Amino acid sequence: MSPLLKKIISITSAVFLAWLLYYGSFLPLRKAQKYIEARQTQVSSLPQFNAVYDGILGYRSPVGQEELVSNYMGILSEIIVQEKNKPQPNVALVDQLVQKAEEWGRPIIDRGTGFSYSQVIFSFGSVYQQAFMATRNFSYYEKAIQLYEFGLKQSPDRQVFLYSLFDIYRFAGNIEEARRIGIRIVEVYNDGGVNQIKNELPSQP
């Protein structure tokens, strides 16, 4: 091999390694650092909250987006739960938080694959579940059901999807579906507590 060819290979390899380190290590690390900083930031308004997290979730990185979006969904759910526990929940705020969940969660769902894909589905469904419980908006109920059922197709009999469906069906008064899911939980996980709740469900008229 000629000295020139060796030099070209050496330079090319160095450039590739630098590119790999930048995109595979530095960017994900920097994105994670920015997210940790955001969690430590005192936020006093929804516009500030959106500005902080939009900047992070929009930060370019080849890996880590699904995990951060799932964690972000958890934050949205926590805020909605706080509203749900108030005597008069701020429905407009809940609606805006759901819109942000759609903005960052839907592209991952539509992509159909990815690391922590099932976790994103669950976290996304939880936002809709909590939004439904806070507002009684049945369009949110339908979206939560769609996501949880979709999650079961991706991960059959996964506990978080089955138990979430069991809870939301009971909350909505859908006794037939709650019983169906309860039966499946008992079959798969032999959960005595769920079995008792299932047996205490009222009969359909």
Pick from 57, 123, 82: which is nearest to 49 by CA?
A: 57
Question: With 0-12 CB in 10 A as exposed, 13-18 as middle and 19+ as buried, what is 168?
Answer: buried
pLDDT 10s digit of each residue in the chain, 205 long? 445 433 433 434 333 333 333 344 545 556 667 666 766 677 778 899 898 888 788 767 645 688 889 989 999 999 999 999 999 999 999 999 999 999 999 999 999 887 789 999 999 999 999 999 999 999 999 999 999 999 999 999 999 999 999 999 999 999 999 999 999 999 999 999 999 999 999 986 5
C-alpha 106/C-alpha 66 separation (Å) is 11
Architecture of the domain made up of 64-205: Alpha Horseshoe (1.25)
Residue 189: how many other CB atoms lie within 10 Å: 14
Give the residue extent of every domain in the chain: 1-63, 64-205
C-alpha 70/C-alpha 118 separation (Å) is 10
C-alpha 141/C-alpha 156 separation (Å) is 21
Per the confidence metrics, is the pTM higher than 0.95?
no
